């Protein structure tokens, strides 16, 4: 049985804010953020100025995305992971006991045919959502779904204006704890995995009252989600990719029965998913998949090198980006189904086992790939079209993972 709790909208104000280390307010609502800047601390910019949040063992470093200069180093009580919010300003920081919100201090306001951009000092807000072992953070259409592996729980957050606070809209208690993922669609339907410690093969669609609208039990080892063109949602499985569109689940078979997709990456404007691909018994990964959700076809692209779970990104230009174990960024054209460019970025590296060791990774924004190299305490910004390193920074800490906001 899946239980859901709906929380009414709350007036979240700075005067009612709780400390970051405090618990959520009664009824499950998150504590409210205090004002993160005074008017005198805000500077207007000529154009948006992206920033990068780079996590490390003891906190998060905020970098100017153009120069990679350090803007701030913000300590946290636990080692965080960062996921950029869609508002171009904030990032969600997960730790074993909940999710906090980081204000990277850059944003833009639209005014008809023009806009204004601003910057201020980054700050960790007082907005926090208590959740046991949060894993996937998925934002869609102004609502972010936080999944808690520890108790099998989904928290839905109104993220339409994180600068002024965010209501916890709803908590969904699943039948058992498991490593899972969820998201809310524009019509209010929530898609969530439904598993337990022994099996994780199901995805369900729930209405606003928590009633089951549709289900599939045919997504063995379900892991990861994304959205493709046509409002199609895709989940990675063993032997297939499960899709949901127009109120029903479907299945796209992979070329190998033991093939696995674990982290598909999509774009709302493209029918093609870019995904990791592995086969049972293989040592590592050296193949990626291009999955067309409209035609139901799958193309595999063999790489000249291996890669890890943090090695994939897409650039918004119908290209996939792979950070290979050879230290190069390999660009894959979706139409051609092949590597078109390889750009040296970092030293060759070895993929560690598990998820505890800092691993090189890549995120892409506006044609620039930001690559983290923990072994060298280094971050590099690489121009994908120009095939050149634009900037690099040596930090005092080993970078774990990065998220970029547009400003």
List of residues 6+ apart from 173 with CB closer than 8 A? 2, 3, 4, 5, 151, 152, 153
Cα–Cα–Cα angle for 403, 225, 65, rounded to 5 degrees: 15
Q: Which contacts (CB < 8 Å, 24+ apart) does range 203-209 have?
A: 203/235, 203/242, 203/244, 203/249, 204/2, 205/244, 205/247, 205/249, 206/2, 206/4, 206/172, 208/6, 209/4
- Classify residue 241: in a domain, yes or no: yes
Say how many C-beta atoms besides its own lie within 10 A of residue 161's C-beta: 10
Query: Can you tell me the distance from the alpha carbon of 288 to that of 302, in angstroms, rounded to the nearest whole number?
Result: 7
Of 193, 88, 89, 185, the C-alpha closest to 143 is: 185
C-alpha distances in Å from residue 228, one per residue of 22, 111, 234, 335, 364: 38, 29, 8, 16, 18
pLDDT of residue 282: 85
- Classify residue 178: in a domain, yes or no: yes
Report the CATH number at residue 134: 2.130.10.10
In the DSSP assignment, the letter for residue 238 is B
pLDDT of residue 309: 85
For the chain, percent of residues with pLDDT exceeding 90 = 79
Read off the pLDDT of each residue in 44-65 and give the average, rounded to a whole number.
97
Domain count, the chain: 1
Query: Can you tell me the distance from the alpha carbon of 189 to that of 2, in angstroms, rounded to the nearest whole number?
Result: 14
Read off the pLDDT of each residue in 198-227 and give the average, rounded to a whole number.
94
What's the N-to-C CA distance of the chain in angstroms?
Answer: 42
Model-level pTM?
A: 0.89
Domain range holding 70?
A: 3-304
Dihedral sign of CA atoms 244, 246, 249, 251 in order: negative
Helix or strand run (H / E) with residue 251: strand 248-253
- Classify residue 342: in a domain, yes or no: no
Query: Can you tell me the distance from the alpha carbon of 315 to that of 170, in angstroms, rounded to the nearest whole number?
Result: 33
Q: Flag whether pLDDT at 197 surpasses 90.
A: no
- Classify residue 231: in a domain, yes or no: yes
- Classify residue 71: in a domain, yes or no: yes
pLDDT of residue 353: 76
Q: Is 180 helix (H, G, I), strand (E, B) or coil?
A: coil
Residue-wise pLDDT for 82-133, tens only, equals 999 999 999 999 999 999 999 999 999 987 778 899 999 999 999 999 999 9
Query: Can you tell me the distance from the alpha carbon of 284 to that of 296, in angstroms, rounded to the nearest whole number?
Result: 26
Dihedral sign of CA atoms 266, 267, 268, 271 in order: negative
Q: Flag whether pLDDT at 3 surpasses 80.
A: no
Q: Take residue 76 and report the two structure tokens written for it.
A: 């946290």
- Classify residue 328: in a domain, yes or no: no
Q: Is 326 helix (H, G, I), strand (E, B) or coil?
A: coil
- Classify residue 316: in a domain, yes or no: no
Looking at 40-44, 227-231, 305-309, which range is the least confident one?
40-44
């Amino acid at each position: 049985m899946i239980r859901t709790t709906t929380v009414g909208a709350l007036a979240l104000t700075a005067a009612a804010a709780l400390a970051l280390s405090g618990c959520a307010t009664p009824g499950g609502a998150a504590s409210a953020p205090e004002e993160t800047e005074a008017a005198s601390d805000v500077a207007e910019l000529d154009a948006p100025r992206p920033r990068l949040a780079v996590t490390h063992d003891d906190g998060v470093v905020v970098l100017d995305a153009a120069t990679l200069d350090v803007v701030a180093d913000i300590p946290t009580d636990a080692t965080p992971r960062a996921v950029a919010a869609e508002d171009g300003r904030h990032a969600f920081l997960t730790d074993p006991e909940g999710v906090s919100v980081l204000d990277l201090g850059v944003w833009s306001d639209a005014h008809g045919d023009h806009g204004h951009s601003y910057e201020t000092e980054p700050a960790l807000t007082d907005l926090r959502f208590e959740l046991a072992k949060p894993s996937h953070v998925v934002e869609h259409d102004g609502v972010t779904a936080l999944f808690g592996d520890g108790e099998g729980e989904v928290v839905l957050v109104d993220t339409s204006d994180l600068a002024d606070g965010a209501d916890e809209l709803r908590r969904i208690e699943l039948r058992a704890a498991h490593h899972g993922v969820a998201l809310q669609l524009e019509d209010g339907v929530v898609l969530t995995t439904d598993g337990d410690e022994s099996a994780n093969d199901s995805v369900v669609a729930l209405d606003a009252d928590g009633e089951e609208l549709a289900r599939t039990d045919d997504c063995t080892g379900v892991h990861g989600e994304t959205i493709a063109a046509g409002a199609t949602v895709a989940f990675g499985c063993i032997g297939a990719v499960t899709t949901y569109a127009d109120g029903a689940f479907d299945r796209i078979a992979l070329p190998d029965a033991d093939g696995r997709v674990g982290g598909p990456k999509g774009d709302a404007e493209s029918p093609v998913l870019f995904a990791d691909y592995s086969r049972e018994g293989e040592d590592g990964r050296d193949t990626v998949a291009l999955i067309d959700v409209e035609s139901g076809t799958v193309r595999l692209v063999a790489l000249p090198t291996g890669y890890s779970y943090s090695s994939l990104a897409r650039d918004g230009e119908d290209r996939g980006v792979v950070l290979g174990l050879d230290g190069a960024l390999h660009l894959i054209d979706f139409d051609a189904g092949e590597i078109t460019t390889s750009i040296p970025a970092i030293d060759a590296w070895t993929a560690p086992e598990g998820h505890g060791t800092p691993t090189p990774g890549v995120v892409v924004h506006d044609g620039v790939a930001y690559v983290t190299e923990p072994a060298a305490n280094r971050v590099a910004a690489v121009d994908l079209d120009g095939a050149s390193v634009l900037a690099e920074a040596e930090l005092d800490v080993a970078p774990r993972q990065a998220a970029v906001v547009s400003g």
